[in-house]
Structure 1
Amino acid sequence: MINRHRNHWLPLLTLLLLGWSASAWAQPSILVVLEQETALFGEAVPLQIVAVAEAGTTIDAFDYRALENQDNMEVLDAKRLDKAGEGAHSVSTLDLKLIFWEEGRYTIPPVTLTYTTNGQQEQIQSDNASILIRTMDVASDTTRLMPIKDIIEEPMTLRDYAPYLVGIAALLIIGLLIYFFRQNRKAASAPPKPPRRTTLRALMMERLNALEAEKRWQQGDIKGYHSELTYQARFYLERRYGIRALESTTDTIVQHLEGHALSAEQVQTLRRLLQTADLVKFAKAEPEVAFHEEAMQRLRQFIRDTDNPRLMAAIYESGTIETYEKAEDDKEAS
């Protein structure tokens, strides 16, 4: 162990001697330089590991894991510096900063150096180092300690209660404001509007007319047009026949419709409409221009042919739609 504070020339002389030794024995020399012999706990202590290797010998790595595994000692920082020395020697330096968390004398374990010479990898270890860790010196104090006296309690006054009274009054005012605001809001809120009622067929025709007025396919949005058209077809089938048409494939829909009174021509029309739309949506197919309008007209005709005049639709202001069957004596508009 070398004390840098006392002898600045000693590490340099030692390095030269180690360099000569490395040349003689063809293995690196390793030196431990501890800057101080004592330190305070919690203080960062510099530690330097210096390795000198001759030409043809390579310093591979410094292994300081033994330092990290010590109790009450921690490695704060580790930096390696490589440089060329005199006479084709190389010098590798590992600068560490250690910190100790309890007082006492510590033995710093050796650092393992891995190097390669003549194509063969070897290892050597540094020497141990020792350091004394102490607590901070406390100067002697001859001042006599006085006994601890009881706390003198001051009587409470109205001023002491004022913050609490103000806080309670503020909470009461806020509560009253919230109460009156909610009461006025309830009084001012209008009752919900009754739903608009129409037949399922009339509702579907409204929707198809609105889609046709948008002129999507004429503006190049063929995919959007057929996606909305098939959605309306599936919506009608789900409300008309009670099947899960919105979540089913074309083949599943056709299979569910087999138990209903549909002609082969109607099923074929529906299948072609849904399958062509699937090709447009997923395969990016482009049907003939005439098919766009033809698909709209075929869906309208399918709705007319399969209409149940007793099926009604209640359209709420929120957009929710409920379908139900009109009773025999129900006078609602159809």
Structure 2
Amino acid sequence: MRVISLLVVLLSWSWMLLVQQSGLAADVLSKLDTREVLIGQPFEVKYSISNQLVKFSPYWDYSSFDDRVDLVVIESNEEEVEGAFLLRMNLVLFDTGSIVIPQIKVISNLINELDTFYSRELEVAVFAPDDFVAELLPIRDILGEPVGKSRNWYWITVVLILLTLALLILFFFHKRKNRLAMEQRIKEVNPNEEALSALHTLGEEGLIEKGEINHYHSELNYIFRRWIERRFEIDALGMTGQELSVHLRSIGVEDEKIRDWTDMLRTIDGIKYARGKPSGDFHENVFVEVKEMVERELERDRQSKEKE
């Protein structure tokens, strides 16, 4: 048995060596019908593999062509002619220059369980026709083409965002313009006339009769401080009585006026925190004194203008 097994192994090795050395099955021959083609012009490539000693069924694998965007397989045919296996392929190239056609594989069970043989790469020179002109689509036509729903929604969103921003900007400038216009109108109103108008409105509200004493004197305090602030362009509303006195003195206001005005502010503030309730005449007298202070300054301003 050992002798028989040894003979079988020796015969197998001898057979494999004979097949490999024959060179008939290890080569995939390739042939071009032309070496120069025009771009887009079909041409034929022929591949063949043969073996006269052993019968086998090859599998042609040209999947490497699928990765090429410039190479298109129009048609492929497989056939067997007298022990040779042929693959005919009609190809088209869509690029110019020296183009390399990739290898193809032939898979068979000729020698081992699965054997693979490769063709060589082929090189083709591709030219453009003399009258070839690349066709370009007009930009206007491209822009005029309808777009899909997703593209439409994209542009709609962009337009809505831009419109929203534009409206916000317009609203901001409109509001700012109104504020500036109001500030300008306030500046144009004489501080004395503004204070007298506010005092008239306060008197018409009847807060004393309603028992809203603190509210009444808070409004009176605001009107009086606002009048000083606008008249001398200082922050009278944000100052204490002492700070206001020092500031008025620093800008040259007469001491008598400073004393009268700060005393009046202390009187108005004191009423809000007083435990007892002053009589109605007291509130009326404070109101009249504030009004007379404003009217005296108004009259002095008129006299100064007349002298000018």
Larger Rg: 2
Q: Same fold (TM over 0.5)?
A: no
Q: Which one has the bigger helix percentage?
A: 2
What is the TM-score of this pair, normalised by structure 1? Answer: 0.37
What's the TM-score, normalizing by structure 2?
Answer: 0.39
